[in-house]
Amino acid sequence: MDRELDLVEIAPQATPPVCKIIDFGKFRYEQQKREKTQRKNQHQQQLKEVRLHPRTDTHDTDFKTRHAREFLLEGHKVKFTVVFKGREMTHQNIGRELLEGIILALNEDAKVDQAIRMDGRNMSIILSPEIKKKK
């Protein structure tokens, strides 16, 4: 009786290798379906940027911090950038204090991925979401 079945090696790395007698076309179809669902369930992490100035008011900073918290809870990284214009460059300590305040505000939901650093006229920091284990 010919059932049109094939001998398929399932786990070649096992000792001894595991083989099954199945329909190879059906096996390949199911394997492609599994791979497609795995690709669909993957989450791409994005880098969201929040731009500030040294003279940004506390309410505006809090508002942008709340938005950043939402980004972090969605699983994205957040880059805070303080942009200095003109003579503001002489007061870099204000930008540093601003970023340190943001770190303190988000310390429950985020961890510092890249410390405070200057890039030309921009001072930036990158925060990534804190992975918490569910109880």
Determine, yes or no, domain membership for 67. Answer: yes
Q: The tokens of 38 are what?
A: 């795995």
| Mean pLDDT of the region 116-120 | 93
Determine, yes or no, domain membership for 1. Answer: no
Determine, yes or no, domain membership for 72. Answer: yes
Q: The tokens of 53 are what?
A: 């100035």
pLDDT at 2 over 80: no
Q: Is 78 in the same domain as 62?
A: yes
Residues contacting residue 49 through CB under 8 Å, at least 6 positions apart:
78, 79, 80, 81
pLDDT per residue over 29-84, tens digit each?
Answer: 999 999 998 888 877 788 999 999 999 999 999 999 999 999 999 889 999 999 99
Residues contacting residue 127 through CB under 8 Å, at least 6 positions apart:
68, 72, 77, 78, 79, 80, 103, 106, 110, 111, 112, 113
Q: Is 57 in the same domain as 120?
A: yes
Half-sphere exposure of 128 (CA within 13 A, CB side): 8
Residue 64: which domain range? Answer: 47-129
Determine, yes or no, domain membership for 86. Answer: yes
Domains contained in the chain, number: 2
| Whole-structure pTM value | 0.67
Q: Is 105 in the same domain as 85?
A: yes
